Amino acid sequence: MTARLLARDARLVEVTIDGVAQLLPDGVMLATALAAAGALRLRASPRSGAPRGAFCYMGACQECAIFVDGALVQACRTPVAAGMAIELRGAP
């Protein structure tokens, strides 16, 4: 349902997730777009290896930190843009 709502009015743009081409809605915050696409686990805890994913969706918790184009970003504060290279490797 969420994916359909996001995609209905949004233009889809091509990004890569771990090197695989995917379509995500342009301008939607990356954490939201990834969750709608089924990617709830964004990374692994460096201490325990436990799965981590977006929690607050407002820039406070840091749980959505992922690498995009080689830089560490907060996925909940980063809008989807064409050509992004998103890295979720290490997410369990």
**Site residues (vs ligand FES, CB under 6 A):** 31, 54-57, 59-64, 74, 76
Comparison of 14 and 56: residue with beta carbon closer to ligand FES: 56
How far, in Å, CA of 18 to CA of 37, rounded? 14
How far, in Å, CA of 91 to CA of 37, rounded? 15
Comparison of 15 and 29: residue with beta carbon closer to ligand FES: 29
Smallest gap from Cβ 2 to ligand FES, in A, equals 16
How far, in Å, CA of 46 to CA of 55, rounded? 17
| 3-state SS class at 45 | coil
Q: Are residues 16 and 84 in contact, defined by beta-carbon separation less than 8 angstroms?
A: yes
Comparison of 8 and 34: residue with beta carbon closer to ligand FES: 34
Smallest gap from Cβ 53 to ligand FES, in A, equals 8
Smallest gap from Cβ 26 to ligand FES, in A, equals 20
